[in-house]
Structure formats: C-alpha cells, structure tokens
Amino acid sequence: MIGVYDYTVILTYLSLVSSVAGMFLACSGHIRYALACLALSGLLDAFDGKVARTKNDRTQQEKEYGVQIDSLCDMVCFGVLPVIICFHLGMHGPVGMAVLTAYCLAGLIRLAWFNVTADQPPRSDGKKYYQGMPITSISVILPVAYALGGLFQGLFPAVLDGVMLLTGFLFVRRFAFRKPTNRELAALIAFGALTVLYILACHLWGSALPWKWVLRRVRVP
C-alpha cells in the first residue's frame, strides 16, 4: 500500500478523523461537540511534528510525506471544519458566505506558502518564526469567540464575520509570528481546553452559555 503508516504520522491521521467527526456533528446541530473536535485536532497538531522528529532514521521521502500530509490535513481540520461550524452558527447569508470563502482561500494560500518555504534557514537571531499567523490558531480562536458570543447578544453573527475575516487576513499577512516555547504552548493548550470544557459543561447542565444571566445582573450607569 502507498503511504506511511508508522507512529510518526498517527497523530496527523487522528487529527483528520477528529475533524471529520466534527463536520458530522456540526451538520447534525451539535455545535459544541464540533468545537471540541476542532480543539482536539489543534491539540494533536501541536504534537505531531514533535513525535515525528523522535524517529532519527526517517528517509527523505518520509520527511517530505510528513510535510505534505500535515498541510493537507490542516486544510481539512482548520480550513474546512471551521467554515462548516460557522455556517451552522449563522454565517449563511451573502456576507457570511463571502467571508467564509475568503477565510478558506486564505488558509489554502498560507499552507501552500508554508510548504514551499519550509526549508528556509532560521533568522539571524536564532529564533524560529512563522510567516503570518498559523492556521491552527483557529482551534483556539473559534471556541473562545463562541464562548464569548453571549456578550454581544444579537450582534454575534456580525462579530463572527469580523473574527473570521480578520483571522483569514492574518493567515496571509506578511509578518513575523514567533513560534511559542514549550511553556507558552502548554499554556495555550490549557486555555483552549478550559474554554471547551466550559462550553461542554454548560451544555451538559442543560443551559445556554450564561452571559445573559451575567449581563442581567450588571448595572450599567
């Protein structure tokens, strides 16, 4: 059989499986669980490269395969899945669909550009940088936007339009985005996990996200 099937790519494959499950859930109306699948794909993606580099005897073909399969998987997980989730969150008007199309195109461009520049040497300061914001950032951005959505009440669809448009723009904007350290990555993963747990907890308790409850008790002078 063609392809690579050892442990160096297992997390990438699992990330794809999680995102396909998220698509089924989003289309079935289970948005909170779809967001959990998106976050899980982000978690798996954070470690797939580290796991792959533990194998010292990888052939050049296996290394190149890893780069290509990672970007192809990222396009599904962080390009297509967020579009489906946002569509079912209300971005199904002309403006929303235009924004989601632009977002998906920006993600595609970013991943293709990453593939052709993956072998560039590090900067003179020795630190590693991304060009533009990584596409995997949406696995934290979208759950946080959803968790905070109640603060905007009827404006949430417009806010979501803005979030997705800005995120797509930052994918292709030419600027140096420093790669997080292991400690920063751990903090980011913890923050994303707590956000998703909060969303799921509200669902399991049979209530909506409690921002309306909070806003009713805040006295505005």
Range of the domain at 87: 10-216
Q: What's the number of domains the chain is made of?
A: 1
- Interval 192-201: pLDDT, tens: 888 888 888 8
pLDDT of amino acid 152 = 75
The enclosing domain of 56 has a CATH number of 1.20.120
At 86, is the pLDDT very low, low, confident or very high (cuts 50, 70, 90)? very high
What CA–CA distance (Å, rounded) separates 113 from 215?
44
pLDDT tens digits along 129-172: 788 899 999 999 999 999 887 777 778 889 999 999 999 999 99
pLDDT digits (tens, 9 = 90+) for 176-195: 888 888 888 888 889 988 88
Q: Nearest 5 degrees, angle CA 39-CA 141-CA 173?
A: 120
Tell me whether residue 5 is in a domain: no
- Whether 94 maps to a domain, the answer reads yes
How buried is residue 72: exposed, middle or buried, by Cβ count under 10 Å (0-12/13-18/19+)? Answer: middle
Q: Is residue 1 part of a domain?
A: no
